[in-house]
Amino acid sequence: MPRRRETLKIMGAVGSTCAFPFQADELYGQHEHAPGAAPAPKLPTAPSFFTAAEFETITRLADLIIPRTNTPGALDAGVPAYVDYVVSRNKALQQVMRDGLAWLDQRAQGPFVKLPQPRQLALLRPLDRMKDKPRSGDTGLRFFQAAKGLIADGYYTSREGLLTGLGYQGNTVMAEFPTCLHEH
């Protein structure tokens, strides 16, 4: 909380806030403010930022965090390619991801992807604290927050995640907005 009486804030040159300032609404991908030029959702399968080994770990993480269940999983939705796309355009994330991937292999005492699944999960679970603020040396937490954030963003904005996973039904044409018939 800022100091009570007088907090000076210079809000910059142009544009105040968007109409509804959400707290956690912006996706990592939207931090790149270039207009999404061509609607080209087909992403390449070969990574442009990550090495093959790193990409294998990202792919594994995506599958662990959002596996295929009765609905499609992160791999069905092409999430690893989305993660690579966003990270390749975001310098700050590049550092976090590269450091974190190295940290993960170090903790695994070898390639993380070679660990059996229970050990992979055991390594990740203590990091699943999305609301904690990572401290300066918290490479693991910082990495996990970014990775899970990217994977969740990628999946829940994909056709598979949004339409099938969540059951999005909007963006239609309705003659009237229906009156709620539940008892409230």
Partner 1 sequence: MADKVFDVVIVGSGASGGTMAAWLARSGADVALVEGGPRINTRTDFNTHGMPFHFENRHIPVMKPGKQGFDSERSRGVGGKSLTWNAVAWRFSQRDFKGQTFEGAGEDWPLDYKDLEPYYNRIETEVGVCGNRDGLEDLPDGNSLPPVPMKCSDLIVRRGAAKLGVKVIHVRKSTLSRPVGSRPSCHFCGNCMAGCDVVAKYNSADVHIYPAMRTGKLTLFHDSVVREVSVNSENRATGVKFLNRLTQQEGEVRGRIVAVAAACVQSIALLLMSRSSRYPNGLANSSGMLGKAFIPHFTNGVQCFLTDLVGKPPSNDEGFLDHAYVPSFMHSRKRAYARSFGIQFNYQNRRSTGWTRMIPGIGADFKKAVADRYPAFLTFQPYGEMLPGKSHVDLDWNRKDAYGLPAARRNMIWGDNDWKLFRDMTAWSLRILDSAGAEILSVGEEPRTNHELGGARMGSDARTSVVDHTCRTHDVPNLYVCDGSVFPSASEKNPTHTIMALAARTADEIATRLRKGEV
115-120 contacts at long range (C-beta below 8 A, 24 or more positions apart): 117/64, 120/60, 120/64
Q: Applying CB under 8 A, does 116 fall inside the site for partner 1? A: no
Report in angstroms the alpha-carbon separations of 62 from 66, 73, 123, 181: 6, 8, 15, 40
Q: Applying CB under 8 A, does 118 fall inside the site for partner 1? A: no
Q: How far is the CB of 62 from partner 1 (least distance, A)?
A: 11
Instruction: Report how far residue 159's alpha carbon sits from residue 137's, in angstroms, rounded to the nearest whole number.
Output: 37
- Among residues 29, 47, 80, 140, the one that binds partner 1 under rule CB under 8 A: 29
Q: Applying CB under 8 A, does 152 fall inside the site for partner 1? A: yes
Q: If binding means CB under 8 A, how many residues of this protein chain bind partner 1?
A: 82
Q: Applying CB under 8 A, does 10 fall inside the site for partner 1? A: yes
Identify whether the C-beta of residue 50 lies closer than 8 Å to the C-beta of residue 87.
yes
- Among residues 45, 53, 121, 132, the one that binds partner 1 under rule CB under 8 A: 121
Q: Which is nearer to partner 1, 102 or 166 (CB)?
A: 166
Q: How far is the CB of 42 from partner 1 (least distance, A)?
A: 9
Residues 65-84 that bind partner 1 (CB under 8 A): 65-67, 69, 71, 82
Q: Which is nearer to partner 1, 52 or 180 (CB)?
A: 180
Q: Applying CB under 8 A, does 30 fall inside the site for partner 1? A: yes
Q: Applying CB under 8 A, does 27 fall inside the site for partner 1? A: yes
Residues 6 or more apart whose Cβ sits within 8 Å of residue 168: 162
Q: Which amino acid is at 54?
A: E
Q: Print burial letters for 31-58: b (CB count within 10 Å at least 16), e (below 16).
A: eeeeeeeeeeeebeeebebbeeebbbbb
Identify whether the C-beta of residue 53 lies closer than 8 Å to the C-beta of residue 111.
yes
Q: How far is the CB of 158 from partner 1 (least distance, A)?
A: 5
- Among residues 19, 46, 116, 135, the one that binds partner 1 under rule CB under 8 A: 19
